[in-house]
Structure formats: structure tokens, C-alpha cells
Structure 1
Amino acid sequence: MEKIYKILCVDDEDFNLDLLETILSPLGYELLTAQSGKAALETLTARHVDLVLLDINMPEMDGYEVCGKIKSDPQTRHIPVIMITSLDSRDNKLRSIEAGADEFLGKPLDQSELLLRVKNILAARDYEDTFTYLIHALARTSEANDMDTGNHILRVGEYSAIIARELGMPEKFIETIRLQATLHDMGKVHIPSHILKKDGRLNESEMEEVKKHSAFGAMIIGDHPRLAFGKRIALSHHEKWDGTGYPTGLKGEEIPLEARIVAIADCYDALRNSRIYKPRYDHWAACKVITEGDGRLQPEHFDPQILAIFKRIEPMFAALYDKLKDAPTVNGNPLH
């Protein structure tokens, strides 16, 4: 059965919405409409949307603000946005790009150009959706032997993206680390489940076995160029800034930047989660362990610049943890 794409058209003028419907509906697209930024965001919360066509010039909340909100929300940032405006200037295009827009169209609309942009952006989205799905499916296999949930791997990706943005990294880096940080513990699928689920602390030989998961993860991910980022994360996210980590004892900037970012994101979320042998830490206790140490974990283990960023933005970590918190369980089963 052929997929029916849902396109949200956002414009405060009826004429423009009618025009878009006249152009797009005959080609099988399902159109949703909103006449304000607030209504658009409510629609995105309630409905599945494949593409947003967004007018810039609207009262109360303009298109730049709406686009920024779409792209800053983990639940909607994947939805492509085409900005539409009669203000066809370089500054408006730059502001659209800065807000996160994927494309920019000027008014009056050229029907052929609109249809071509819509077709191309939806085709690209389908490809990226498939790639993202496969990455998450691969990442979820690491849960088979472990206590962590899918929300753990998603939270680590989101924390990492926040840090990367604070570091001023390019958008491509930010989006790549958001997705491929989920592969960080891929190698745990090779670690015996009785070790990962042991009721108590691991002995020395068991700990050495667990440490192999970094190399196993890199081996599983393999050598495809589009997964090189994730492979570096899987291999090196347990390396420490002071050289005391594993698997190879890399030190300082020898450790790939993406692995240094994921290291602190993973530690924070691990502290927030309960284990058979330890209770979950609240936000402030987790921050104290990371910034002051607890005997096993020390501030010297982290890149000083990334640690400074963590100290500055830790309230964002708390908010994200609460937003993507795991559902309560009894004996491993979710409560309904």
C-alpha cells in the first residue's frame, strides 16, 4: 500500500492555505492546516506529520520561533520544515537556516519548484528514517543482556547533542552524535548475561570481561563510513582524560571528541538509573559524583572543557531525564 504523506501547512491567511491545498491535494498528499504558530505546535503534538510548510510572517509567534521550537523538541526535530515568505532576502534565508529550516521558498510560489522540493525532501526523509530506524534497532540489541532500557540509550544521545551544541559544533556533528551515541554499549550483546545481571558488584575477572564490550562494539559496527562516528564512540567512551580508562588507555585529546562527550553523558544517566547492587541517584547526587568524585569516578576522568559545560547546563540534563524517564516497572514489566 502506497504511503500517504501528511503535510502541515502553517499560514495565517486563508488564501495561502487554499493555494497549497489546490497544488498538493491532487497529488495524494494529506494536508493539515494551522493559522498560528501555537496551533501548529499543538497539531504536531497530537498528529503524525511528515513535513511542515511554514510561513514566516505571522502574528504573535512568527515562523522563525515556530521552527526553532520544532527543531529543539526531541519529539519533532526530525520533521523537515520548508519556510515560505515574501521576504526574499539573504538575511531572511540565514535566519531560516539558523532556526533549523531544511528548505526556503519565496512568494509568489512557483508550483513546479514547490512540488519538486516537497518530493525531494520527503524522499530524503524516507531514506534518513530508514537509516535512523536501523541504528536504533542495532542499538536496542545491546539491551538483550543488560538492565538498561531503550530510554537510556535515547537519553545518552540527547545529552550528547546538548553538549555538542554548547561546544559550538556544526549541526551535522550534533545530529550525528544524537543518533550514533545510542550505539555506545553495542558490544554488551557479547558479554554473558549472568555477569551483566549479577546481583552484586563484579569481581576483578568479571570486570575484565565487561571491559571487552568496547572492542566488541567496534567490531559489530564495522567499517561502513556512515557508522565510523558510532564506532569511535563504542570503542573509546570508557577512555578517561587522565589516561586511566580502557580499552587502550588513551589520554587527553587522543580520545575522539565524540567519545569524550558520550563519556559524561553515559556516566550521568548510569548514576540516575538503579541497579541490583545500587539505588538510583537523584540529579544533585549524580552531579556531585561527576563534579567531585566518589572514589571510583573522578572529575579528572573527563575532558575539563566538557565538564565545565556540564556544570553550567546540568539543569538541562535533569529536565531531559524527567521528560524521557522510564516507565515504572514491577519485576521488569511496565506498569499500565
Structure 2
Amino acid sequence: MASGLVALLDDIAGITKLAAASLDDVTAAAGKAGSKAVGVVVDDTAVTPRYVMGLSPERELPIIAKIAVGSLRNKLLILLPAALLLSAFAPWAITPLLMLGGCFLCYEGGEKLIEAASGEAHDDAAESAATPAELEKQKVSGAIRTDLILSAEIMAIALSDVATSPILTQALALILVAIGITAGVYGVVGLIVKMDDIGLHLSRRQGTAIRAIGRGLVKGMPVVMSALASIGTVAMLWVGGGILVHGMEVLGFGALAHLIHGAGETAAHALPAIGGFVAWAIGAIGAGIVGLLVGGVLALGLHKLRPAL
């Protein structure tokens, strides 16, 4: 009996160690996969605050919560099954689909630059005529649709990094990425959109320093929101261009990737004290230039096609 109990305990210990190792694998895979999606995360964080502009302040956090729930639903109920099916039955399609998403991000960035240069903006008359409840519904629906594209990029980037792992590890890693990134993005977005309210509250408190901080937050948030729009555009071009450059390399057309990488290495050797940062910056600039060229061509081409349609 004793020997049987010892054997059972040994089996339990072995299973526990195996489970712990698997959990470590999942956590490591999720961390690595999530870190590669950081550019799209920046874009997502920068884009979302505009969906609560012009709405009642007390509805800002409930709206962000609705968008966050919709984002999580996009990732877990739509994109996760699709990603696992791709990984199981058509892994060759992951890179081309990533590149299509990269083209879309480049187009979005190019479109925003054209609008900024021409002074044109989308004037949605339907929004101005809507009731507050209808406007909120429109904003939430629009944000969730935009999130679907960005979430697809995040999940595809994450999948590309865990595609060689067992299917269960892939699924668990993608679930962790989905939950972690959604919580992070919409937590930061909630903080951003309420920062002016926090500043207003601080400006009414006792203490000169606290009031000064509060007034600074109130005055600074319009600048921050404007900067976020610019950051979002740059992130779209950088991430989209980077996806295209990497995708071309995976498909056997690596000359452009090697050129950018070589330029980064040369600059890093010339400035060894900050070599890592310089190499990263050269890579980001190179990807951004590719994104700008592709996005500009796509946006200008579609602008010319629209009148004919």
C-alpha cells in the first residue's frame, strides 16, 4: 500500500512538473508574441480615444467598457478560432494575410496624411443629426469595427510567433495575448480620456503644487489628444511597412529587409554607445518609409478611383 501511495505521489509530482513547464511555455510564448505586436497596440491605443470625443463625460468610461468588451469578443470568438484553423490547415496563408493587413494599415496612414495635407475631413452629417443614444451606438459600433482590423493584426502577429508550438500552447498563448492587450489598451485609453477630469479635480484641491498640476493636466490634454492622432498615423505607417518588409523576406524577397538591416548595423557600429537604439531607429524609419510609399500609392489611387465609381 505504501509503495503504491509513493508511486501515486510520484505520478502526481510528475504531472505537476509537466503542467508547470507547459504553463511556463505558454507564458513565454504569450510574452514574446505580445511584444511583437507592440506597434499595433500603440496604434490601437492612439486611435480609440477619438471615439469618445464630443460625448457626455459621464458616458466616456461606459463607452470605453463597451468597446473593450467588443474588442475581447472580436479576439476570442472570431479571430482566435480563425487563427487556430489557419495554423492547423493553412499555415502558408498567415504571411500573405499579415501583408494584406499591413497594406490596410499603410492605406489608413496614407489616407490620414492626405486629409491633413488637403485640409479635408470626413463630415458625417448623420452623426450631427443623431440623438445622444444613437450617436453613442454609432461610435461604439465604429470603434469595434476598427478594432477588428487592429485586433486581427495583433492576433496574426502573435500567431506567426507561436505557429510552430503545439495547438494547445498556441490557443492558450493567444488567449493570454488577447486578454492582456485588451486590458492594457483600454485601461490606458480610459486613463487618457479621464485625465482632464482628474486635472479639474486636482485644480480644486488645496495646495499650490497640486492645483498647478491639475491646471497643467487640463491645459495639456488637448495637446496630448492631438499628439495621439499623429502618433497613431505614424504607428500605422511604421507597423504596416514593417509587416510588409518582413513578409517579403519570409516569401523569399529579402533584399529590402537586408538593406534596412545592413543600414542599421552600419549606423550602430558608427555609434557603439547607442548602437542598439540606433539600429532600432534605422529599422523603424526604413519600415515607415516603406509604409509611407505603399500607403501613399494606395490612398492616392483610391482617391482617383472614387469619382469614377
TM-score, normalised by the number of residues in structure 1: 0.24
Report 1 or 2 for greater relative contact order, CA contacts < 8 Å, sequence distance ≥ 6. 2
TM-score, normalised by the number of residues in structure 2: 0.26
Higher strand proportion (structure 1 or 2): 1
Higher helix proportion (structure 1 or 2): 2
